[in-house]
Structure 1
Amino acid sequence: MSSVHDFKSNKKTIARIFEKYRLYKFLCLGSDDPSKSEEFIQYCEHIENLVSQLPGREKVVIEERYMTVEHDYITDQTVYSEKMDPPVSPLTFAKIRDSACSKILNIILQ
């Protein structure tokens, strides 16, 4: 099975994980409900901890593509051509992204 197929089959799950992360991180952390705030903080810390353990290039891809408040305005092309140092090809980007997403899913879905 190719890594592109793997990512496509898991794309919705990855999207939900990082949508929830961004919602909690950027919109909900100031919640008036202390128990909810603690839940938000724990979830964000869990995701940030997972990502911090990824190899350097995988970490950059995930942080720059999925964990930024600018997520809606950042494309894969922006990440692989501007955020990666040195820039990488679209195919290399896809391999790095797929590897990182696979690792995150394996841990979260355990």
Structure 2
Amino acid sequence: MSGLSNREKNKVKKAVITELEKYRYLKWLQEPTQEHKEFFQTIDNAVEGLPEKESFLIRKRYLSNESEYITDSQMYNEIFDPPVSERTYSSKIRDRAMLKLALSLWGGNFIDDIISKTNQ
């Protein structure tokens, strides 16, 4: 998320993670509504559009049934094969995936809103 401050990056990340958690919890519904199905499709399409490493990270760390029990440290030390450094994981793979998902889900105005609220 180059060009954004750490505070702005964290706000974007938090917003995206909230949506990914919503996705994961709604998947447990026995009979999802049409609205839920459309939400699933929107998230699935956004994740599918990511580069392979970013998509893998999002699916494994945030969307899988086991995601609540997987830590970032496990992701970059054990699950990525070959392992990646913490810096590569956090600043190159995860942060970029979060920004791309935010842009895909909400468009550029969302990022502009984050920046303007942070600067107030």
Work out whether the TM-score is over 0.5.
yes
User: What do residues 82-109 of structure 1 show as CA deviations (whole Å, max 9, x unaligned)?
Assistant: 2212110000001210001100101211
Aligned-residue offset at 1:18: 0.6
Aligned-residue offset at 1:3: 6.5
CA distance in 1, matches of 2:57, 2:66: 14
Pairing partner for 2:38 from 24, 36, 42: 42
Aligned-residue offset at 1:75: 0.4
CA distance in 1, matches of 2:99, 2:72: 17
CA distance in 2, matches of 1:88, 1:4: 23
May I ask how many residue pairs the two structures share in their alignment?
A: 104
Aligned partner of 1:80 in structure 2 is: 76
Which consecutive unaligned segments of at least 5 residues does structure 2 have? Answer: 108-120
Supply the AA of the counterpart residue of 2:98.
Answer: C
CA distance in 1, matches of 2:106, 2:99: 10
Aligned partner of 1:92 in structure 2 is: 88
The answer to whether the 8 Å contact 1:50/1:104 transfers is yes
Aligned partner of 2:118 in structure 1 is: none
**Higher RCO structure, 1 or 2 (CA under 8 Å, sep 6+):** 2
Task: After the TM superposition, list the runs of 4 or more consecutive aligned residues in structure 1 that deviate by more than 6 angstroms.
Answer: none
CA distance in 2, matches of 1:4, 1:22: 28
1:13-92 aligned at under 5 Å gives the runs 13-25=15-27, 27-28=28-29, 30-31=30-31, 37-92=33-88
If the length of structure 1 is used for normalisation, what is the TM-score?
0.83
Supply the AA of the counterpart residue of 2:61.
Answer: R
